[in-house]
Chains A and B, each alone.
Chain A
Amino acid sequence: EAGVVQSPRYKIIEKKQPVAFWCNPISGHNTLYWYRQNLGQGPELLIRYENEEAVDDSQLPKDRFSAERLKGVDSTLKIQPAELGDSAVYLCASSFDTTNEKLFFGSGTQLSVL
């Protein structure tokens, strides 16, 4: 069974440029999460989807971050414009549902903003 797939693996951009990350969750997993992990820290939730609905986006900086999950499968996270402080690893995770379910994480996208 394929795991959670993310791309790109690495991204280097200059500040003020836009950037997008893509995630393909495990087939059949209804819940999808985007986390941001700063160096030496634990993952911080940005947004959680149940199917195509964003049910928790309270931690998403909406002035520059946006996300979508069309058809309740793949998801894209966008930053526009990027700032120096956005440098981090962006992790996507999925679970079958939201009831005591373990999360399956992708390998992440390491973003460096110069």
Chain B
Amino acid sequence: AQSVAQPEDQVNVAEGNPLTVKCTYSVSGNPYLFWYVQYPNRGLQFLLKYITGDNLVKGSYGFEAEFNKSQTSFHLKKPSALVSDSALYFCAVRDDRGSTLGRLYFGRGTQLTVWP
């Protein structure tokens, strides 16, 4: 079975500090991993994805994520947080061997608050 866990409902950081939003996953085959961001009353916006290759993936708005196969993790990071980064963040996974290729499995989301 495919699943995603985001162990923290909320993450609070001060502006200018580094931030990390955690994600762990479970799949049968090789994972395709995604991060999305959602601002209030809006749809989800794609940030970045890991398919294969370099374990450090760079995405939009200065975000990056590190794929760790041994720990089955894909944590989202940013070296210096901005107040405007405050939003709800979702991690998602697909299995490359899944019969339903279209399905993405989402975590429950982590609310990031960056205070001035």
Instruction: Answer yes or no: are A and B bound together in one complex.
Output: no
Using a CB–CB distance below 8 Å, which chain B residues touch chain A? none
